[in-house]
Amino acid sequence: MTAVETQRPQLSSSYLPRSPALDGSDPEAKRAEMAEYFTSVFDRYESLFDLLANDAAFYDKPIALRHPLIFYFGHTATFYTNKLVLAKLLPERIDPRLESICAVGVDEMSWDDLDDTHYEWPSVGEVRAYRQKVRAAVLKVINSLPLQLPIQWEGTWWPIIMCIEHELIHLETSTVLIRQHKLEYVRSSPEWSPCKSSCAVQSAAPENQLLSLPAGQVTLGKARNADRYGWDNEYGHRQVDVEAFQASRYLVSNAEFLQFVEAGGYADDDVWDDEGLKWRNFAAARHPAFWVWRDAWYLRLMSEEVSMPWDWPVEVNCLEASAFCRWKARETGEPIRLPSEDEWYRLYDHAGVQEVSSAPASANLQLEHFASPCPVTEFAHGDFYDVVGNVWQWTHTPIYPFDGFQVHPLYDDFTTPTFDNQHNLIKGGSWASCGNETRRSARYAFRRHFFQHAGFRYVSSDAQAQEPNAYYESDRQMSEYAEFHYGDSYFNVANFPKAMAELAIAAMGDQPAETALDLGCASGRATFELARHFAHVTGIDFSARFVGQGAEMAEQGILRYTLTDEGELVSYKSSSLADLQLAEYASKVAFYQGDACNLKPQFSGYDLVLAVNLIDRLYNPASFLETVHERLKLGGKLVLASPYTWLEEHTPRAQWVGGFKKDGENYTTLDGLQDLLGKHFRQVGEPQKVEFVIRETRHKFQHSYSEASVWERIL
């Protein structure tokens, strides 16, 4: 392995300040710092578009999935206007038409979901003039807005940093688009100079090796009072023990990746997963996207193609990185895979990396060294190289919210649409990452088929990479039930599954209370509540999705879901067992999918069967009622509750238990229950009506009564 000499350019005049500390003792100094941070980023962003050689470069799309660059040129400016109007910091719009056209990108499309909307793009001059108006307007705000330190999440200054950090994200993603543009559209600029150092021979690149890290605990998640700006997904808490593992000393270089290419890895279906195969076939991928073959391998940079720098990190998407790991695991017999996010933090802590503070950064970060990657041997961090910087590093972990996650009201869809298990976290930042992107706490995620300045490091570990659940339930019925079971009260009506469990527990008196069955448990709240009194509680529902909610609550202690506010507008919500004082009962419950009309024999011998809002949803309630005694011990209690909402869609008319004329007389469901249960049960006391409310939107609720009756098995 040969370390290759590198030439570092002088710090350019376009040195970018760090993301400001939010606290401080001198508001006016902070105001000045904010003004400098704003103008530096705003002007540097504009300078990037100087790389475009002509007007056509602004309007021809670099890739089909995204808007042309004219959109991005305008977008970061309109974002200032849109958010500052929303935050009531700007009194009025500057150019409503532009602010509408340049508002919404198409970043989160699937790879085969092409954008073919027709847009009437503005001229480059128009956008340039607009940007100057925005620059002046924002500066006016910064210079006049009252400022109290610290700058806080809820405060008036937060949207200003939000807009600056937003522009930094687009600064980086625009460099990627430029790198994907036709070469004829791009020109070079001294301000955006690539690294000139590289080894031109594959064998001269460093040989990678696995280094061991001991087990250790890592803490993720940013405190609400942290001293730097963070996006919504960074806040909250996670502490986890990471097992010992090995990690590659270097990022995977172009040289190392060539082995995979030359071994036929792209054509080898066994090393691609389903998603990877679909992408590879669609894209007809045969090598990394920025590699160009012209009798020899070249690498596309922003404004030029260079002879392949074999010792630079390879840049691939997550699917290619994963395929490489599978191939490498097969070749070596080692458990090679991408690191989890937790493992990356363990590596970061172990390597003793420091936040970027003084310049120049001790990593290829912050546009402070090169406008390109550089050799993987350039920046050492402890025993490793490029723990941060150079190119982003794909992880095995889809982005998920930490405990305590909240959206910011001015940008509620920054992260939430990516909590879908389809966006994997990238860590460490690239040469183009600045501001928030460079920090330990940063958490960005992209679809796995997406290209960024991103490569990877592999690890070897027998441990499974943990994948905390990222899922926000957004199915209407499922999220309505999550809220119904674990969420807020409305119209002062007490939580219904809890009230039903309490009614059932009261009905038990001092009878033995070893086991209970919550049949038709839906999202499972009553199952947990019964576990306050019973040693073991079984929750069963016909819907595997409902049972999944209960099981998820038992395993993760938290459920996340959206609440429909109005039309398509939603709020993001989570409910936890801990907040409901139920965490200690999670080990006493078990959830199963099952059919109350045809229950497996092992579900029997219970002291209590609770069946809430169940019978009018069964296809054959009589068969359930005629056999439910078989589930109970003699003397055991059956607690039924139902609003008796008989509907043909759930229960054929011929199977209704009551609610019709029988032999000419009104025959209620309670009459039917008495007839069907009478043989094996004694009814205890009078039926009671218990209220319940199910929220549908901010303005619309179902408000009902369930009639609860108690029965004792006597035969």
For a copy of itself, the binding residues (CB under 8 A) are: 82, 86, 99-100, 103-104, 412-413, 491, 565-569, 643-646, 656, 658-661, 663-666, 668-669, 689, 693, 697-707
For residue 459, the SS3 value is strand
DSSP element (H, E) containing 556: helix 544-556
For residue 108, the SS3 value is coil
Closer residue to a copy of itself in complex, CB, 456/646: 646
Q: Which residues contact 640 (CB under 8 A, 6 or more apart)?
A: 611, 612, 614, 615, 673, 708, 709, 711
Closer residue to a copy of itself in complex, CB, 87/247: 87
Closer residue to a copy of itself in complex, CB, 176/657: 657
CB of 71 to a copy of itself, least distance (A): 12
Contact 73, 203 (CB under 8 A): no
CB of 417 to a copy of itself, least distance (A): 10
Closer residue to a copy of itself in complex, CB, 329/694: 694
Closer residue to a copy of itself in complex, CB, 456/692: 692
Rounded to whole angstroms, the Cα distance separating 389 from 438 reads 8
Closer residue to a copy of itself in complex, CB, 54/666: 666
Give one word for 522, left, alpha or beta, with left for phi > 0 and alpha for psi -120 to 50.
Answer: left
Pairing between strand 632-642 and 660-662? unpaired
For residue 266, the SS3 value is helix
Rounded to whole angstroms, the Cα distance separating 97 from 116 reads 20
∠ CA 636-642-648, rounded to 5° = 125
Closer residue to a copy of itself in complex, CB, 59/705: 705
CB of 309 to a copy of itself, least distance (A): 39
CB of 409 to a copy of itself, least distance (A): 9
Closer residue to a copy of itself in complex, CB, 103/109: 103
DSSP element (H, E) containing 508: helix 496-508
Contact 339, 322 (CB under 8 A): no
Rounded to whole angstroms, the Cα distance separating 256 from 206 reads 9
Tokens of 168: 């930094």
CB of 67 to a copy of itself, least distance (A): 13
Tokens of 264: 């036929």
CB of 675 to a copy of itself, least distance (A): 11
Closer residue to a copy of itself in complex, CB, 592/667: 667
Q: Which residues contact 397 (CB under 8 A, 6 or more apart)?
A: 340, 341, 342, 424, 425, 465, 466, 467, 468
CB of 263 to a copy of itself, least distance (A): 45
Rounded to whole angstroms, the Cα distance separating 278 from 411 reads 33
CB of 690 to a copy of itself, least distance (A): 10
CB of 87 to a copy of itself, least distance (A): 11
Rounded to whole angstroms, the Cα distance separating 219 from 127 reads 44
